Every structure is written in structure tokens, then in C-alpha cells.
Chains A and B, each alone.
Chain A
Amino acid sequence: MKKDQSSRGFIRCITAFLFCLLLNPSFAQDTFTLSGTVKDASDGEALIGVNVYARDQQVGISTNVYGFYSITLPKGSHRLVVSYVGYHKVEREINLNANITLNLELKAEGNVLEEVIVKAEREDHNVKSMEMSVNKMEMRTIKKMPALLGEVDVIRSIQFLPGVSSVGEGSSGFNVRGGAIDQNLVLLDEAPVYNSSHLMGFFSIFNPDVVKDVKLIKGSIPSVYGGRVSSILDVRMKEGNSKRTEFSGGIGTIFSRFTLEGPLVKEKGSFVVALRRSYIDLLARPFLKDDLKGVKFYFYDFTAKGNYRINDKNTVYLSGYLGRDLFGADFGFDWGNATTTFRWNHVFNNKLFLNTTLFYSNYNYSLDSDLKNKNKEDVFRWNSNILNYSIKPDFTWYLNTRNTITFGGQSILYNFNPGSARVVSGGEGQDIGLNSKKALESAVYIGNEHKITGRLTLNYGLRYSFYDYFGTPLAYIFDESAPAGERKPLRDTLAFSGNESIRKYGYFEPRLAVNISLNRSTSLKIGYNRLAQYIHLLSNTTASSPLDVWTPSTNNIKPQLSDQVALGIFKNFRDNMYETSVEVYYKTLQNQIDYIRNADLLLNPYVEGDLMYGKGRAYGAEFFVKKNKGNLNGWISYTLSRTERKVNGLNNNEWFLSRIDKLHNLSVVSIYDISKKWNIGATFSFMTGTPASFPTTRYIWQGIAIPHNYSDERNTYRIPASHRLDLSATKRNKHALFGRGESEWVFSVYNVYNRRNPFSVYVRQNPDDPSRTEAVRYSVFASVLPSVTYNFKF
């Protein structure tokens, strides 16, 4: 019955879609198409989001992530304006009497001061574009913000944006509009990243030297994206300098970074290789004695990319990423991501662009009790990984000046190996572990950005995602009549052979964005999206740890669904010097995973019996003011929000505050260019403390003071608020080493006024006097952290 309804809905949508196309008047005209790519003249990097505008017709288009544009105009001569903030504007007279390919290069504005611009878009992009609930960050802004220990960090920087928060300093990942960290789709050159941090979450895995573009989509998510229910973080890496070979790098407190980039086969392509490695272990080695001498503790990441332009119609890209964290002495523990992505850009004709992405990714971690094999009698070795293979064709069809259609699909084959372990005890060995599981997640989508009038633009789309869980020999059935909140006993085990399907799911995901232009500098935007998520991170700890296990949807775990509506008003002032926006959102979440007390998530075959499912809701208002021009720029963002959950078996089955709820969240980011030589940056943030549960009573059992909450309520208290000021100063030098190239010193201070911001507050028995019970504030960065970084390029 349900299926019937949704397929009827689908047909209705398609009909409406075709109808919209037919309404379009420009079909009949005598038109030609101008297309091509726009690149940076200095290094040949494709420029994303360059505005290509036909002045007389008053129509324009932005370049896509590969720098490609296509614009259809009537026959005749046109004045074309190509502009990109921070670059010299190009104006061309074009006589269009056939389809033309026009590749352009833009020169960066020479003036250093002018270059310091927070956004690289058409100046009123925020008002004119379809995008709402989207924040873009330029790497050059991120690089000027004060960074923890001087290590420039994409994930930390986006936490200053409206609607984005984290559970505390030092936790991995980020939360968007009340979403959990596993509800963000983090894409690195189109391939998903499962664990976006090094060192338990202190640093993100993105090497800032090779990141080109960062875009966070919090709502009104276009149909091209899917697979996670809260947000998309789309990170694009540099393609490498195609004009000349360049070597750059930096020496910081935690990492050293080196990047080599250059042309590949004369103007036909380019490459970039980048390496980062932490060296706290190398620095510490001389001071370690005896047993500690063998301590290994480091993390690194390696990025290698190449692209090659076969001809005007075909370009191929190959990229690889390898990141690893490792520590241990006798005991070893390591984890990391490895991805390989192959992309092929194909221009069928002036109007149809195709990018096909193939990727392979492997996220794995392992534990070894005895790296040196000293003791063969007692061993514990554990391996776990997630393998992904995916194909993703994405078409863009520049139908006419009023319609840009995107369509395509994606298939991801997952192979989960939640853990296989070898245990040897007293010389006798056993292999333990869990069966591997497979799943195929696929989607097809179509969307259209449709300019209905000069004032009204719609972006409507539909995605249908479907999912098949298979390839594991056993499926478990649990006794659902067990009391809510208790472990569900196993009732039955079903056997499956080979790749027999165990459970299928499918959802229609409608997407809509509306832009109503109220006047030249003001627009009203409305967005709706539904999203489905088929894989989940099982984590019951405040901050996620690298040991947390990703699990597919199964016969017991249902896909998560979210619906979000957002409404925003966007206005620019003083000739786009200031951009402002206010957005409100309301989001509901279904099939949210929670955990029984005592949940056993490690290597437990019956883990599904330890899970509970509930619903969530999040709503809030985001206020944003950004100054784009002048020597002083930056932004102020304030979010007022609420995030709640309702799970049978928790908090007496009533709604309760989610642990990521933040009532107030204020960020101020400012960057000031004093001179060509110096600039300074300052950031301030204030956040309401996270909700917490405290006991009302205690009881003594075998001398242990056990905390107890009489009413069994959850998250009715809050820990104290956090606030922090960070500062940085950058000094540019004329030359790097040996009088060549350029270099800079970056000085930064984290937590300037030395505040002990609480990560959590918990209760315990006093360690020295167990009869006393006390509350403890736990802070992660409890002191001023200064640092110096040296960057060079030649």
C-alpha cells in the first residue's frame, strides 16, 4: 500500500517535471551554446563557481567543480563578463553564430590586500544562487584563522559556521543542525571518508596545503547528494600547478608538510603529491628511556593526484589518499583510510557534461597485543575494515538559459568486516570474530534548476535510493517483546547462503529549493529535503573513538530518515560589502539508534539486540553577518537551537535533550590585514554547555558508592558554558630559503585567556577517600597553547 502511494508520487513528480520543461519558451529560438573551462592563469587550477555572464541578455551561469561552464544564447554578438572574486575580470565580445568552445584563464589580482577576500564567488552569490543553508570557506581564509597548535584544520574551522558545533574541544567530527557525526557525508574528491580525524579527533585528515575548496551543505540538499541525513561536506583537492613545478611546505608544532606539484606532459595535465607527518615521537625519542624507547606514536597522510587532458572532450583524474595513525610499544593500535578515485570528465557536446567517478576505499583498524612477537603464548590480534567500491556517473545538461538539469546515479558496494580476531591463551589459539556483511546502496536522481522568471528560480529534484543487505550467513531475530531499554533476547537465527538477499529498503527523496528575489540585494529562500541513510556508526561515547564500528542497515537496523524544511532571508548591504542572512530550520529524524545500558558494541555478534530505535527533532535559527571587503573582514554567526530525542526505554519514554544540544552558539571570526607584510586573525566562540545527567542519590554496595537517578531522567542538567579566544599573526617574508620563493611565519595562541572549558562533568568517589563522593570537571585543553609555524613555497 505504502509503496503504491510513493510510486504514484514519483510519477506525479516526473509529470510535473516534464511539464515544467515544456513550458519553457526558449526552445523555439535560434540559439547557440558557448562552453569551456575557466582556470587560474598562474597555476592552471580549475576555478569553481566563476560567474560567466552575458550582459545584454542578463543571463549567467557558474562554473562547476571541474571549472566547466555552458551557456546557451541567441545568435549574434554578446558582451561576456567573466568574474571571480580575487581575480581580474575578463570581458569579451563574442560573435555567436555556431557552438563555440571558449577556455578562459583568469589572473589573480596582484595586490596582496585585495587577495584577502573571504569568498571567491560572484559578489552577490549568496543572494542570487539557489543555495541556502550552504557555507563555503576559502582555504586562504581558513589559513588566516588562528589554529590549534598552528595546524590549519578544515573541520575545526567549519565549527565557526552557523548551525555547526561539536560535543567539545578534542572530539572528532562535527554536528550540523542537531545531527550526529555519522550523519555528515564527508567527501574527499567525491569519495566518502569514514573517519575524518587523526589522533582521536584532534586534527582533521585534510592536508590544508592541497585543499582547494570546502563547501558545507546543511539543508536544501540537491538531489545529486545522498546517503547521510544531516549534511554534506564536499572537500575538493587541488589538481596541481600545470604551469610550473612548485615545492612548498611547512614546519609546525605537530606536523611537517611537504607538497610537490607541477605540469605533466606539457600543458596536458598536472600532478600533486603531498605528505604530512607528525613528529612528536621523533622529538621525544632522545628523552625516552628503557621501556619507553620502543614507543611508536605518529600519524601521517599522503595525497597523490594527477590529471591528464586527453583532448578537448576528455580529461581523466586519478587520485589517492592514504592516512594512518599508529601508536604502541609492545602493544600496537593503528587505523586509517585509503582511497583511490578515478574520474573521467567527458563533454558530449556543448550542453552535456559528464563526470564519472569510480572509487575504492578501505577504512581499517587493527589491534595487536604484541608487535614484537615476544610472547607467542598469549596474543590478541584484531582486524576490522570497511571496503567500498563505487561508481557514480553525474550528468549536467545545460538545456537552455532557463534550465540546467542534473541527473545520474550511484552504486556503492560495501563489504563490512566488523572484526576478526586471533586469541592465543597459554599457547592455545582460537579465531573469534564476526561474519562479514555486504550491502549494495544505489540511487538514481534527477534535478532541475529552473529560472521561471527573473525573480523566481526553483531547484526541484528527486532521488530514489535503494538498498540491499546480503552476503552474511546468519541473520538474527530478536524478541521485540522484551521490556524497552533491556537487552533483547535472541529468538531465532536465519541461515542464508552466498549472496542471498536478507533485507531490501528503498526510499523516494524529494528535494526542493525556491529563490524569490525581493529586490536587487534581497532574496527569500525556502528549502525542503528528505534524506535516507543506510549505514550507521555505532558509538555510545561522548566523543567518537576510532574503534567505533560502522554497521549497515540490516533486518533489525532500519535506515535513518530525515525531513528538513528551512526558510531564509538573504540581504547584502553597501554594494555587497556586507552579506547577511537569517535562516530557520525544522528537522525530524527517524530510526535514530540508541543503546541499552551495558551495551556491548565490540565484537558482539548480537549487537543488534543491544540497540534501541527512537526519533529525533531539531529546530533553530541561524543569524549570519559577513564582511567581504576591506582590510578587516570576517563574520559573526549566532545559532539558537534545540535538539531532542525520544526513545522508548530512556527517560521514561519522554522527549529529552540530545547530548549534542546547544542552546546558544556564537562565533566571531575576524581577519585584519595591517600591511603587505602582516595580518592578524582572531576568533571567539561561546557555546552553551552540553546536557548532562547527574545522580540524585547514592547507595553503598560492597563499599562502592553507586550513583543513582531516582526518577531515571536523562540530560536534565547542563555543564557550564564554554568560551574561548584564539589569536594569530602572520608575517610574510620576501623570500624563503636561499633568497628564492616566498615564506611566512604564523604565530598563534589558542585559548588566550586560559579558560578551563569543561568537556564533561562527571561524578566519582574520591580516589583517596572512597567514602567521599564528588563532581569533577574534565577539560581537554586546559591551558594557553602558543605555537609557531613556518611555511615556504618555491
Chain B
Amino acid sequence: MKKLLIFPALLLFCSCEDVISIEVKEEKQQLVVDAWLTDEAQEQQVKLTLSQAYFDQEKPLPALGAEVYVVRQDSTGFRFNDNDNDGVYTYTPRNRNYLRMNERISLYIKYKEEEYYAISELKRVPAIDSLKYQSVTLPIKPEDGPKSGFRAQFYANDFAGEGDTYLVRWYKNDVLQARSSEYTLSYDGGLSPGNKIDGMLFFQPIRMAINSDSRLFVDRDKVTVELHSLPLDAYYFLYQVQAETNNGGIFATPPANIPSNIFNLNPESAEKAVGLFLVSKVSRYTAVIDKNNARPAD
């Protein structure tokens, strides 16, 4: 919506952006938990690092020597180990069922003298039925992409019943489009919790959220779509990540810290962690663009 509003402003005026330097206060380091687990039988990671000054351009320091466990509702625990001593704690499950649907999963971390925990829940996700693409010619050739190419959309149906939250992300030729502006969130197949639509085919802007505005797909490009189920706290976390990291222009909102679901077991402790622990169920669909199968342009 924000982009939409800026459009006429850009058309008329030369608004501009310059990189400037500002000084900000330096503050204490905090433990950063980056733990996004899926229900897939492949290596699962919990990355622990330390926060740094905002304009510090170095790689973040790893948080080493932590104990990391993921514990199921039936008290079965999985130990994550930092085998390479780089702050990436891993575990490789033998099958998809190491996490169970609609069950709460907890994360336990002991780092230095502090103990932290977080809770997430594995929610349902619908299958992706198909992926289609259409020929498109842009009016002006973009700097970083072709003038003619294809736009793709995936087809999936939201479950009936309120409160299903999802994330859509995509890979182009096996490269994850990893910027915060490149994933899309959906609430019951629509754009936001306020839009009370439910149980329909995903709303068109979400189905088409797997395209770059300027870099159209070309023949033989490989497109992979991932649809993740999200617990509600992760939905809001990811929603705010997009807001806080793309917050320029005249319709910016006041910057705010993103609440974390990582808590210190001792609520009195001054040491607070940041980041998010989430578990998601994934549907995936891959297609290779074939110009002969594309729908013609409108």
C-alpha cells in the first residue's frame, strides 16, 4: 500500500535519498537467537550470535559454548550441537515426524550463566497445487532485467477456519530471494488479519508474490515456491521485520523494537535475548519456465 501511495509523488517530484552518517549511542551486546526449524528430514539449525552496534559492518560474533535443546510436548528432547564451533547449532532428524502437528515445541538455551526458553507451535499448511506463468512485456526496459519475460503465480487454497497464517518465499534458480521485502505474509489467504477472508484460493497479490518487479523470469528459469505455516507470534514478528527494515518515505511509521519470543528463565535478570524461535510446516513446488507453456500476454 505504501508503495502505491508514493507512485504519484515520484511521478511529479524529484524526491531523493542520500546516504549520510549519523552517530548513535553504543549499547550492550545481547544474545541473538535465529531459530527457524521446519518439519523436514534435513539438517536443522539454531544460530546464536551477539548483537553489535548498528553501523558496525563486521560479521556478528558467534555465541559459542551454549547448550541448545529442542523439546517436544511429550518431553522428547533433541540436542543441537555446534560441531564446527561457529555458533551454528545443528541437528539432523531421521524423518519428518520429529515435530508433530498442532503441538507446542520448546527451545531451551543455556548461554554463559543465563538460561533462555522459547515456545512455538507446528501449524497446518496446504499443498501447492500448481504454478503457472504468463508472458509479459514491460513498457520500459528495467536496468536490471529484461523487457520481455514471464510472471509466475502459484495456486493453493487456504484452509477453512480462521487464524491460518503463512509465509511465502521463493527461489530463482535455487537462490533464495532473502531480503525482507521479498517474502510475503498471508492471513487466511488474504493480506492482513483485518481482511476477513477465509478458505479461498490465495488472494491474487499473494499468488503473484513470487516475482520481482523489475527482473522478469526468462525461459528455462527454475522457480521454487515455499509456503510455510506460521504460529501467530512469528507472523507478527515477520510482519514487523518488513515494516522496520523498509521504513522510509513520507509514510514511515515510528520505529519500534520487535518483540522477541525468547525469554530468560529468570525474569529478574538484566540479560535479555532478541530474535525468534519458530517452527513451520512447508509445502514446496518447483517448475522450470517453458516459453511454449506460458499463457499469452493479456
Contact = CB atoms under 8 A, between A and B. Distances in A.
Contact of B32 (A547, A693, A700, A710): A700
B254 interface: yes
Interface in A528-560: 540-543, 545-547
A264 to B, nearest CB: 38
A708 B51 contact: yes
Given A597-B257, A600-B192, A699 B137 contact: no
A776 interface: yes
A297 to B, nearest CB: 6
Contact of B27 (A421, A595, A710, A774): A710
Given A423-B203, A756-B16, A774-B19, A697 B245 contact: no
A325 to B, nearest CB: 8
A709 interface: yes
B8 A607 contact: no
Interface stretch (B54-62, B109-117, B216-224): B54-62
Q: Main SS of chain B's interface residues? A: loop
Interface stretch (A1-9, A50-58, A385-393, A764-772): A764-772
Contacts of A486: 259
Contact of B250 (A297, A597, A699, A759): A759
Interface in A358-417: 369, 374-375, 378, 380
B203 A425 contact: yes
Contacts of A546: 5
A772 B203 CA distance: 34
A704 interface: yes
A331 B8 CA distance: 13
A289 B203 CA distance: 30
A374 B252 CA distance: 33
A703 interface: yes
Looking at B246, B255, B259, the one whose CB has the most chain A CB atoms below 10 A away is B255
A763 B258 CA distance: 15
A171 B13 CA distance: 13
B15 to A, nearest CB: 5
B14 A761 contact: no
Contact of A775 (B19, B29, B252, B257): B19
Contacts of B189: 425
Interface string A673-702: 000000000000000000001111111111
Interface in A160-180: 168, 170-171
Interface string A702-718: 11111111111011010
Contacts of A701: 32, 34, 241, 275-276
Interface string A487-500: 00000000000000
A765 B245 contact: yes
A778 interface: yes
Interface stretch (A14-22, A619-627, A779-787): A779-787
A543 B251 contact: yes
Contacts of B19: 774-777
Contacts of B241: 701, 704, 706
A473 to B, nearest CB: 15
Nearest to B32: A699
Interface residues of B, number: 84
A372 to B, nearest CB: 10
Given A696-B26, A698-B52, A704-B179, A421 B195 contact: yes
Contacts of A374: 298
Given A426-B200, A545-B5, A761-B20, A604 B274 contact: no
A26 B150 CA distance: 88
A604 to B, nearest CB: 3
A605 B196 contact: yes
Interface in A744-764: 756, 759-764
Nearest to B251: A541
Contacts of B17: 776-779
A430 B250 contact: no
A426 to B, nearest CB: 3
A629 interface: no
B139 interface: yes
A430 B160 CA distance: 13
A694 B24 contact: yes
Contact of A699 (B15, B51, B59, B256): B51
A773 B51 CA distance: 13
Nearest to B59: A771
A419 B237 CA distance: 26
B248 A764 contact: yes
B262 to A, nearest CB: 11
A112 interface: no
Nearest to A659: B254
A306 B51 CA distance: 68
A600 B194 contact: yes
Given A378-B204, A597-B240, A702-B178, A707 B18 contact: no
Contact of A762 (B155, B194, B252, B274): B252
A764 B138 CA distance: 28
A780 B250 CA distance: 8
Given A200-B9, A698-B51, A780 B15 contact: yes
A775 B19 CA distance: 6
Given A701-B32, A702-B34, A696 B201 contact: no
Given A603-B192, A717-B22, A700 B49 contact: yes
A602 B276 contact: no
A659 B255 CA distance: 12
Given A708-B257, A782-B15, A542 B139 contact: no
A761 B22 contact: yes
Interface in B167-223: 178-180, 189-190, 192-198, 200-204
The listed residue with most B CB atoms (<10 A of its CB), out of A542, A545, A598, is A598
Contacts of B138: 291
Interface string A296-328: 010000000000000000000000000000010
Nearest to A759: B250
Interface string A186-209: 000000000000011110000000
A168 B248 contact: no
Contacts of B248: 760, 762, 764, 776, 778
A706 to B, nearest CB: 6
A595 B240 CA distance: 14
A597 B258 contact: yes
Contacts of B26: 696
A696 B245 contact: no
Contacts of B239: 598
B30 interface: yes
A575 B247 CA distance: 54
Task: Sort A-B residue pairs by CB-CB distance and give the 10 closest, nearest first.
Answer: A604-B194, A426-B201, A710-B27, A597-B256, A378-B204, A782-B16, A603-B194, A699-B32, A541-B251, A696-B27
16 contacts: A170-B9, A202-B12, A290-B139, A425-B197, A425-B204, A541-B253, A697-B29, A698-B53, A698-B54, A708-B257, A717-B22, A756-B18, A765-B245, A770-B178, A774-B55, A782-B15
Given A425-B202, A547-B5, 15 more contacts: A290-B137, A423-B200, A432-B196, A540-B254, A597-B259, A696-B54, A699-B32, A700-B60, A704-B179, A708-B54, A710-B28, A760-B249, A765-B179, A778-B15, A781-B13
